[in-house]
Chains A and B, each alone.
With several copies, the nearest count.
Chain A
Amino acid sequence: MANNLGLKVKPVTEIPEAEVNRVAAWINTEEYKEKNFARQALVINPAHACQPLGAELAAHGFEGSLPFVHGSQGCASYYRSTLNRHFREPAPAVSDAMTEDGAVFGGQNNLHEGLENSYKLYKPKMISVFTSCMPEIIGDDLTAFIKNARIKGFVPNDLPIPYANTPSFNGSHIHGYDAMLLAILQTLTQGKKVEGRCTGKLNLLPGFDANTGNIREYKRILEAFGIPYTVLADISDVFDSPNDGTYRPYPGGTKLEDAADSVNGKVTLALGTYSTAKTYGWLKDNYSGKHASIPMPFGIAKTDAFLLKLSELTGKPIPASLKEERGHAVDLLTDAHQYIHGKKFAVYGDPDYLLGLVSFLLEVGAKPTHVLCSKGTKKLEKELQALLDSSPFGKEGKVYVNKDLWHLRSLVMTEPVDAIIGDTHGKFAARDAKVPLFRFGFPIFDRVNLHREPLIGYQGVMNMMSTICNKFIDVVDETCDDRQFEMMR
């Protein structure tokens, strides 16, 4: 019995301290790095989650939308917990709790019972269904199942039930976001396109972005322009809802009628070309008006481009208040450049964030040294490399696509940097490398309120710049000799 593995019984042993120390030193070496980069199968500390998580985020972004996981309830618990921890907000979502029988009989019964219960209990205006692994593998036919649910009266005929296939063994959270968003827009806009009608509004697609401050910032910018808009999907009020003593399961989100009418929009602008690729590809062919997909407005230059694009698409001039804000941001950059100039950064994150962060770093004279995406494409790799090549500060930078945070650890231990930019998961590498971690990413499990601080736009430039520079000064103040401890910095 004891030898089920065919191994001998051995004494309980302690690893000698010298051996521990030897290995502890070894994992910081170039030799180890090579071994580490030779990995073919094992993934260690990836910086991406699976599709349904992103799907849930998109699903939350619509008014009265109840995210519905077709799959195990354990999956749903994981997604919800992640969102709870990041936003420190409720994330109401249900699952249809598939179990072993599902493998045999398929998930239709679960789906039907789930729809019936959740519709009655949580009174959603829309149920947004997405899948976890199990139904993807057994091949559940959601189209048929949902049709049957309506026929059997589990849900009203007119209740929108968009659904997305979001297999976890494909892509990452940004792709699940894209798939769910697409499904929702396809569902809601079906039959809503009216020849000649124009809402006069701009549809803005922020893409997968778990920073509610960013979404509010887009809205503030559009309001400054005087551009009427619909954000698709608007998670800002959902995941930054006031505490006034009342719990509201649906505290915000894009209004369904606005989403439906978005097909008749004047302009549709997708920000971040990676996390809304599919959705944009579809709506470009199906939405009225003008369309554009541009990078997320991180840094001065990309914010300039965003404002110019808004102006170009809407014919509205760039408002004076934003020009002034640009001046404030630039003022900070020139005043504080000496605290960041030449500092080396390891940066990792989702593709659209990465492109923005690298752009910002280059324009303030910092050196993005290790640029890593744990789920990316050749196209992304090229785009990042071209960005690095565009600046003398990118000369030493290298791009690593489909490498994980254990690779990153090897990089920062063998080619040191001054700081890491990423999400909470980077804290272990940052601790080992004894450098600060700037949490400009998702998820953030260990600091408060950061999701409310915008990173995009000129305001975002100011936030990132002061956060980074002040932390670097903190480090100087906290680590310098007494005789170097000074009043001014």
Chain B
Amino acid sequence: MSTEIKTVEGITKESTQAMINEVLELYPEKGKKKRAAHLAPNDQASGSACVKSNKKTVPGVMSARGCAYAGAKGVVWGPIRDMVHVSHGPVGCGWYSWGTRRNLMSGITGVNSFPMQFTSDFQEKDVVYGGDKKLATLLQEAKDLFPLAKGISVLSECPVGLIGDDINQVAKVASKELDIPVIPCNCEGFRGVSQSLGHHISNDTIRDYIIETREFPEPVGPYDIALIGEYNIGGDAWSTKPLLEECGFNVKAVWTGDGEMDRIAATHQVKLNVIHCYRSMNYMCKVMEEKYGIPWIELNFFGPTKIRESLRKLAELFDDSIKEKVEAVIAKYDPQMQAIIEEYKPRLDGKKVMLYVGGLRPRHTINAYEDLGMTCVGSGYEFAHTDDYDRTASEMPDATVVYDDASEIEMEHFAHILKPDLIGSGIKEKYLFQKMAIPFRQMHSWDYSGPYHGYKGFPIFARDIDMAVNSPTWKLVEAPF
């Protein structure tokens, strides 16, 4: 990690704090007080969080946050391709999360891959009389219609928890009757303060119901690893998995992008867990470390600088054979990445970017922008915890603004003041900022592009950022009359 203190011309802790104070003035007293703790200038040298996080969203602000169900269905479970994931409750939750996270999947839809929207479509009567019986029936139907499904996850929506259904019991019975794992996941949306608890609950459920239920038939090898917290957004895993393989590793399981239940269930057999999205899956790494003694390492696959650093850090844990392969890989790809930088940097150098994403990219992508000559002038997370902000401090330039669970009005205000050349955030923010003629990329979904991870991803990332920043359409916004 760089220890050099990065600064941005015109940005000081005082200027940032003044900007924050301005926006806080918009709030009523109570709201102001609550929000104040979540907004602060970065103290790069400190290496620790400058804001509070993982607190309840302030009612009545325009928050970008989702819920526990979203974290469970959209993030952790949904990407496992060979399971049927039932959104248990009313129709909406499953419908909204159907196809709207870009965790791509192999396989044949409805045969051995299930990116569909399965729901128990609760009606009034299910709320009144309970949905357990319906659940039992639908599990049988799912098994009948999708005989190759490796398992079924049951993801509870709000009413299920509120009316006191016992899905755990239904799942247990069904598992035996249908002879496939039926995993109950009590991820009702009202639980916790954001998606984050959904990740945690899902991790716990994997711990309780999945892991150690399968074993690899082949013997365990020294380079057997699992790739954790890689969701294959826009095909990311199809970049990172082959990259790790090129470095000499056997990637036995991916959690959970394009994931396979059996492999996830046998992950207790690997030698190392490589984690990318720390926020959503650090729980499991820790569980596996404690329970099976599997070490874990946190990597960053965005941009050649971080990829290089990460691969070498990884190689350090292995023998010379791996080290040689890693150096060969770096030697092979670095010139290609340099060519990309030479193509795009002249058009992006000195441009400013503001980030506001989920639980990983607000820090992990900063250096990728820097590889292109850009500077991050603000960053923040929807659902991060203190450990995420700790890790963010050193990545961000000193004194730039950090925002936790930012509300739209805060982002809008910061953008007015900072005048970034690009904002990287989500769909709910996109059109707001585009109306302000600020180039924008969705950084949850790669804006329907990707992959952005690994060496395959960086050229696409660079092209997309250039496209956003330098599209001539922005010049058309202001009319000559």
- A-contact bits for B265-301, CB 8 A (1 contact / 0 none): 1100000000000000000000000000000000000
- Chain B residues near A7 (CB-CB < 8 A): 175-176, 179, 181, 213
The answer to whether A247 touches B432, judged by C-beta atoms less than 8 angstroms apart, is yes
| In the bound complex, CA of A301 to CA of B478 (Å) | 11
Q: Which of B171, B214, B409, B477 contacts A334 (CB 8 A)?
A: B477
User: CB-CB contacts of B452-481 with A at 8 A, as 1s and 0s?
Assistant: 000000000001100110111110111111
Cβ contact within 8 Å between A97 and B58: yes
A334 touching B473, Cβ below 8 Å? yes
Which of B137-145, B318-326, B370-378 lines the interface with chain A? B137-145
Q: Contact check, A96 vs B118: say whether CB atoms are below 8 A apart.
A: no
- The minimal Cβ–Cβ distance linking A389 to chain B, given in whole angstroms, is 15
Give the docked Cα–Cα distance between A2 and B447 (Å): 39
Residue of B at shortest CB range from A432? B109
Asked whether A117 and B70 contact (CB < 8 A) given A245-B437, A363-B473, the answer is no
Query: What mask results when residues 78 to 96 of chain A are scored 1 for a CB within 8 Å of chain B, else 0?
Result: 1111101100111111111
The A/B interface has a contact count, at CB < 8 Å, of: 395
Give the most central of B158, B181, B189: most A CB within 10 Å: B158
Kindly state the separation between the CA atoms of A247 and B423 in the bound complex, as whole angstroms: 15
Q: Please tell me if the beta carbons of B59 and A95 are within 8 angstroms of each other in the complex.
A: yes
| Distance in Å: Cβ of A267 to nearest Cβ of chain B | 18
A484 to B104, Cβ gap below 8 A? yes
**B116 is contacted by which of A243, A247, A406, A445 (Cβ under 8 Å)?**
A406
Q: Is the CB of A5 within 8 A of B428?
A: no
Known pairs A72-B158, A74-B70, A243-B437; A114 contacts B60 (CB<8 A): yes
Q: Which of A46, A50, A74, A119 contacts B117 (CB 8 A)?
A: A46
Nearest CB in chain A to that of B31: its residue? A117
Closest to A85 in B: B427
Contact with A along B404-433 (1 / 0, CB 8 A): 000111001000000000000011101111
- Say whether B12 faces chain A, with CB atoms less than 8 Å apart: no
Chain B stretch 3-29: residues in CB contact (< 8 A) with chain A: 26-28
Contact of A117 among B27, B90, B109, B111 (CB under 8 A): B27
B190 CB within 8 Å of chain A = yes
A390 to B296, CA, bound (A): 54
Inter-chain CA distance A17–B262, complex, in Å, is 17
Contact in complex: A42, B215 (CB < 8 Å): no
Question: In whole angstroms, how far apart are the Cα atoms of A32 and B175 in the complex?
Answer: 23
Contact B212 A78 (CB under 8 A): no
Task: Kindly identify which residue among B64, B96, B431 contacts A90, using a CB–CB cutoff of 8 Å.
Answer: B431
Q: Which A residues are CB-close (under 8 A) to B214? A: 9-12
Contacting residues, chain B, for A76 (C-beta < 8 A): 63
Q: Using Cβ atoms and an 8 Å threshold, which residues of chain A touch B110?
A: 27, 406, 409
CA distance A94 to B412 in the complex (A): 15
For the complex formed, measure the closest distance between the CB of B473 and the CB atoms of chain A, giving whole angstroms. 4
Query: Which residues of the partner chain A approach B176 to less than 8 Å between Cβ atoms?
Result: 5-7
A133's partner among B58, B158, B258 (CB-CB below 8 A) is B158
The smallest C-beta distance from B120 to any residue of chain A, in angstroms, reads 6
Determine if B99 and A487 form an interchain contact, defined as CB atoms under 8 angstroms apart: yes
| Cβ-neighbour of A1 out of B66, B107, B208 (below 8 A) | B208
Instruction: Knowing A73-B57, A78-B92, A97-B59 are in contact, say whether A3-B213 is a contact too (CB < 8 A).
Output: yes
> Max chain B CB contacts within 10 Å: which of A32, A82, A100?
A100
- Which of the residues A27, A172, A301 comes within 8 Å of B91, measured between beta carbons? A172
B238 (CB) vs chain A CBs: closest residue: A483
Q: How far is the CB of B389 from chain A (nearest CB, A)?
A: 20
**Interface check A20, CB cutoff 8 A:** yes
Indicate if the CB atoms of B208 and A12 lie closer than 8 Å. no
Chain B residues with CB under 8 Å of A330's CB are 473, 476-477
| A134 touches which of B30, B105, B158, B211 (Cβ 8 Å) | B158
Minimum Cβ distance to chain A for residue B51 (Å) = 18
Q: In the complex, which of the residues B26, B111, B120, B181 contacts A20, with contact meaning CB atoms closer than 8 Å? A: B111
Partner of B109, one of A84, A98, A308, A428: A428
* In-complex Cβ contact of B26 among A45, A121, A331 (8 A): A121
Q: CB distance A20 to B108 under 8 Å?
A: yes
Mark interface residues in B165-178 (1 if CB within 8 Å of A CB, else 0): 00000011001100
Tell me the complex Cα distance, A48–B119, Å: 12
Give the Cβ gap from B390 to chain A, nearest Cβ, in Å.
25
Bound CA span A94–B409, Å: 11
**Contact between A301 and B476 (Cβ–Cβ < 8 Å)?**
yes
Docked-complex contact B162 and A134, CB < 8 angstroms: yes
A323–B112 Cα distance when bound, in Å, is 53
Residue numbers in A under 8 Å from B59 (CB-CB)? 95-97, 110-111, 113-114, 117
* Chain A residue contacts of B431, Cβ below 8 A: 84, 88-90, 335
Q: Is B54 an interface residue (CB 8 A)?
A: no
A333 within 8 A of B: yes
B158–A338 contact, CB under 8 A?
no
| Contact (Cβ within 8 A) B209 A244 | no
A36-67 to B contact mask, C-beta < 8 Å, 1/0: 10011111111011101100000000000000
Residue from A90, A243, A486 in contact with B448 in the complex, judged by beta carbons closer than 8 Å:
A486
Closest to A80 in B: B428
Identity of the chain B residue whose Cβ is nearest the Cβ of A173 in the assembled complex: B92
Pick from A77, A137, A333: contact of B428, CB below 8 A.
A77
Beta-carbon nearest neighbor of B141 in chain A:
A42
Report yes or no: B479 in contact with A43, Cβ–Cβ below 8 A: no
- B interface footprint on A171-197 (CB within 8 Å = 1, 0 otherwise): 010000000000000000000000000
Q: Apart from A20-B112, A365-B470, what 11 extra A-B contacts exist at CB < 8 Å? A: A5-B182, A12-B217, A39-B141, A42-B120, A43-B121, A74-B70, A78-B92, A94-B62, A134-B190, A169-B159, A364-B473
5 contacts between A and B (CB under 8 A): A12-B265, A35-B144, A102-B190, A134-B162, A246-B436
| Closest CB pairs A-B (n = 5) | A74-B67, A487-B99, A50-B92, A117-B60, A114-B60
Q: A-side interface residues toward B, CB under 8 Å?
A: 1-7, 9-13, 15, 19-20, 23-24, 27, 32, 35-36, 39-46, 48-50, 52-53, 68, 72-82, 84-85, 88-100, 102-103, 110-111, 113-122, 132-134, 137-138, 167-170, 172, 241, 243-248, 300-301, 304, 307-308, 311, 318, 323, 326, 330-331, 333-335, 337-338, 341-342, 362-365, 391, 393, 406, 409, 425, 428, 432, 445, 482-484, 486-489
